[in-house]
Amino acid sequence: MRQMQRLAMEALLSWFEVRLSAEQDRDTTKITAAAMTAIKSESAALPSQNDVASLCAVLASECADADAFLHIAETSPLWSPFELMGTIQQKLWAQDAAVVPYAVRALFVCARFASLMQGTQVIRPELMQGMHSAFGSLLSYFPNNSAALFLITPRDRPEIGRRAGHPLQQFTLADSLARLFRSG
C-alpha cells in the first residue's frame, strides 16, 4: 500500500510537471480543469461523485470491512494494489492523462485500507508510523484538512466529518485537486 501511495503521488506530480512544461500551463484553474476532464473521461476509475465525502462513502460501501477489502482487492482491478500500480505505470509511460483518475483512485484505496486497518491491533503501530502519517500528509492538501479527518477517522470519534453542515460535505474533488496543484 505504501508503494502504491508513493507511485500515485509521483504520478500526479509527473502529470503536473508535464502540464507545466509541455503544455505551458501556468494557471492552477486550467490545470485543475484538465485534471477533472481526465477524471470524467475515465468514468470507470472513480465513481461519479462530486464531493470528497460522497466519493468516500461510495468506496466505503464497496468494502465495509477488512475481509471485504481483501476479497475485492483480489477480484477487482480497481481495488487491487498490483493492478492499480500497473495501470498507473502504463498510463505514465504513455503520457496518458488517464493517469490522473487512476492515481487519485489509488490514493482513495490506500486511505480506505488505512481506515480499515486502524482498528487492527497488529497493524495499528505500522499505520501510525508509516501509512497513517503518509496519508495525513497527503490528505492535508484537502481544504481545511477536513478530508483527512473523514478519510482516516479514529474509531473512537466516528462523528468527525459526518455531522450535517460539516464543511467536508461541501468540498469537491476539483477543489481538492486545485489545492494540491497550488501547493506543488
What pTM was computed for the model?
0.69
Instruction: Convert the chain into a string of H (helix), E (strand) and C (coil).
Output: CHHHHHHHHHHHHHHHHHHHHCCCCCCHHHHHHHHHHHHHHCCCCCCCCCEHHHHHHHHHHHCCCHHHHHHHHHHCCCCCHHHHHHHHHHHHHCCCCCHHHHHHHHHHHHHHHHHHHCCCCCCHHHHHHHHHHHHHHHHCCCHHHHHHHHHCCCCCCCCCCCCCCCHHHHCEHHHHHHHHHHHC
Per-residue pLDDT of the chain (184 residues; tens, 9 = 90+): 889 999 999 999 999 988 888 778 788 888 888 988 999 999 889 887 777 888 888 889 999 988 899 899 999 999 999 999 999 999 999 999 999 999 999 999 998 988 888 766 554 444 444 444 444 444 444 444 333 333 333 333 444 444 455 444 445 566 666 666 665 4
Other CB atoms within 10 A of residue 150 CB? 23
